[in-house]
Amino acid sequence: MAPGHGRRRVYGLELAGEDDAFAAREAACAATGVEVVAPGLATARGVDADRLRSLAYTHRASHLLGHAAASVADARALVEAATMDRTGSVAVRARDVRGTAGVDTRRAERALGSALVDRGFTVDLDTPDHELRACFAGDTCLVGWLVSESVRDYGDRRPTDRPFFQPGSMAPLDARALVNLAGVDPGDRLLDPMCGTGGVLIEAGLVGARPVGIDAQRKMVRGARENCRAYLDTEPSIVRGDATRLPLGDDAVSAVVFDAPYGRQSKIERHTLADLVGGALTAARRVAPRAVVVGDRSWSEAARAAGWTVEATFERRVHGSLVRHVHLLR
């Protein structure tokens, strides 16, 4: 592809994790026209730089100078030919994404830095005015100016470090991705009717949504409240209740997110697991126009029976034989 892409502004996205389809779907809440073009890389026609900072499975977005073949010489030729809309100091950062291109990234940084110096830039590796990123993956290289980075603070909220912990709690990185996939904007109400220790509620609150939590177990309600107090300025509404009989009016929330019990019976003794999840899906359909549901098996048939359209599904391997099935429902 020719440098600059004409007048269209195109962005390169550096994806996180190993599941590019899942990462690209999450990225679509902060970008338009997302398309995976190489392992760990995608392009987009538009990017909301502020929203991108909240993504779990996208590291960075850059305003592209263009595509090149995955070689240092081709990347340098792209930089030499590209139209520049900025001046000042620059740092060049190169990546061989997942080791798929076999490129010497230090050599790439030196070569691209030299090309920029020839075009009037100065090099400042500590506090540059601009950062040029060259991402090599497979047979592709994306070269562009960094415009936004996601905030990687998930290690500060590890489940084992929270005031209240229970085994099986979802990692904050995954909880954030589910919140983003639900498509909530700041100020929207998001319901987790099986909130457990409150991980989804925390991530929803941190992106500016108004989380609402329900759980069948009194100890989980207490624990979720304690955890939310530790990370959020405002404590969400969290009450004890039955996910199949939600104490909310029709269309009361913008989205529902829940992680169904894995391979066990519900703590609500009158429900089998299938009845619990099916009932929760039916109740969620009444109170919200969209949902993200996770389980250790496919719940697509139950979702359709509850009146949902299954927009997309993803299988996410956690460890060993545990695979999380993520369902996007509308």
Query: How many Å apart are CA 271 and CA 279, to the nearest integer?
Result: 9
Q: Which residues on neighbouring strands pair with residue 95, listed in sequence order?
A: 135
Mean pLDDT of all residues in 217-229:
98
Q: pLDDT over 90 for what percent of the chain?
A: 92
pLDDT, one tens digit per residue, over 100-158 is 999 999 999 999 999 999 999 999 999 999 999 999 999 999 999 999 999 999 999 99
Structural domains of the chain sorted by starting position, each given as residue range(s) with its CATH number in brackets: 3-149 (3.30.2130.30), 154-329 (3.40.50.150)
Tens digit of each residue's pLDDT (9 = 90 or more) over 235-287: 999 999 999 999 999 999 999 999 999 875 445 556 799 999 999 999 999 99
State the pLDDT at residue 187: 97
Amino acid at 13: L
Q: What percent of the chain clears pLDDT 70, i.e. is strictly above it?
A: 95
Which runs of consecutive H residues, i.e. helices, occur in the chain?
20-27, 49-52, 72-81, 105-118, 172-181, 199-206, 218-231, 273-287, 300-305
Give the integer Cα–Cα distance in Å for 152 and 136: 22
Residue 5 predicted with pLDDT over 70: no
State the Cα–Cα distance between residues 314 and 327, nearest whole angstrom: 7
**Strand, coil or helix: what is 157?**
helix
C-alpha neighbours within 13 Å on the C-beta side of residue 186: 7
Task: Look over the chain and give the mean of its residue pLDDT values, rounded to a whole number.
Answer: 94
The 8-class DSSP code of residue 184 comes to: P
Measured between its terminal Cα atoms, the distance across the chain in Å is: 36
